[in-house]
Structure 1
């Protein structure tokens, strides 16, 4: 029976913040890196007291829930494209800065990837130019906001003011002036606007979306990095002869589309990249019976089928698998355990077709070059 001291609460290492607020963004940028818990053998696990085991498992839970981001080839290519756009946008204030549009399927990890770019850019700017401006204000190189359903111009401006901690009272023009003053005072140079597909969402509001994005470009002397789903399909980058299409074309001329692709295993390069990711994740997993090749060899095809190559689905599956492995005492990931782990609906829907292709030998995540070496 546990003593009173053993029943004391465990604070944990959960970091509750919102990157859409300045304090939260600074926590994301400057927060200390988590330390990977030590991998204990089963004998050492058994020797722990009940409380010590709970503390250790709690540390493992929060560790597995926050794995990454991992420098995949897709992420590196996206960061290279963003760096080129942002780094070359040294235009004076009287010139509109070209924007970037990161448009990709949901669950690919695009928001995480773009936030990581913003974090790196923020740190580089502070290192190069100092934490304060010449006027003595805090330097805030990056603003990150995430939109909600059917956001209009006033709501967009309010989100920017809310990030800075400014009042959100007033009409759209008042909020815009307030936000511009903050941009100039705090020397902000990049706006990351996530979920822009929520801008004036509706069946006939594509033109309004274009107008809102043009408003941002004309009002704020920053590089705009838009992040969304299915934005290009709405035609906002298309050219045409009508006035509306001409507005779209003008926006398209100022915007460079980028994307983040799912993992592709149709060729050897893709299979090797997927394997490198699984090997990297393996090194980060803290389970007593983890072994080399647990993911990359024994579960590669299984994880491909369960995640359909989408990074968010893959990481959710592994995180939940580790949680179950700890709670059940399995202390390893295998097909039997993973079959009891639930994943998102989209991944589960694609699972049957992918699993059938793998079973028929039409698809595999395992590199053929490694198979030949073993034989």
Structure 2
């Protein structure tokens, strides 16, 4: 493993039984998602088959899980013992008539030891783990409610925080946009650091800035943010609505937009850049995906030969994907990922051909992307995805995972 590998995953959960939001930290060194040596990985791992983009779009997600029996899958994916909560938080004291079932959101930062939390009252808190101690500090409030917030963490520069705080800036956009109402309800904002004043060295100066939406969609009544990726000094968003689809790039330094084209990136949600491979990785049509986005800011459309999609064909038919919860890909560094699938474990009565019971769980799987045959960085030739090990996180007491960061 590389020295830059992450050690923890931050899990944001909601406990409906106690009406509490929980933050748990999963220690990756104790869960064994990866084979420890290349020899063991070669012997016990599985190289996933590739799909063309057209075949991936046509794949029926409810029928790819049929090549392994349930007993074998259960044995290959032991249960995770949930770590103790690091933070318990009640929902904000707001009107229960608000049209949302989520009152607290969990956002990533550039550091695995920090998580930002935002509530429906637009208040922002930051949870920190420093030298074994836990504490919370406050950040500026957002200016408008985000019903389906998507957050992009931008790593700090060397001069960003002279006190060693490595949170970086946080850009938050509503996944469900109403561009025609942007003047009355801000839908794209940034929590940014603006440094110290010489006369107040102990004070930190965070600001929350309202940012414009792409001007090309300003007349739309509604639109959906399909996916996003940090590409150099720009944040690229794929947005689709009733009036068409497009990919737009927000340039952080100038705060201006450019249009890449009338097409969408292949990713659902976030795509992470892996510098060792020169590629971006995420989930496409619920399957692991890699793509070269390096030319997107200049308006270069992503061609099929600049992406790879891998099939998941080793799950039993009793493990059915949840239709309203997309898988999540979390980069650990050096081409390693955790893919989180949200599944229903269904028990069937084969004799009567009907379902008897359903139990929800999340399947955490260690994946590794690497080149074979000595191929060079930034190409698709020789790129392969290896599945290492899986673990099941079983839900109880009306719990659900809201975020994996």
TM class, shorter-chain normalised?
Answer: under 0.3
Taking structure 2 as the reference length, the TM-score comes to 0.26
Larger-Rg structure: 1
Structure number with the higher helix fraction is: 1
Structure number with the higher strand fraction is: 2
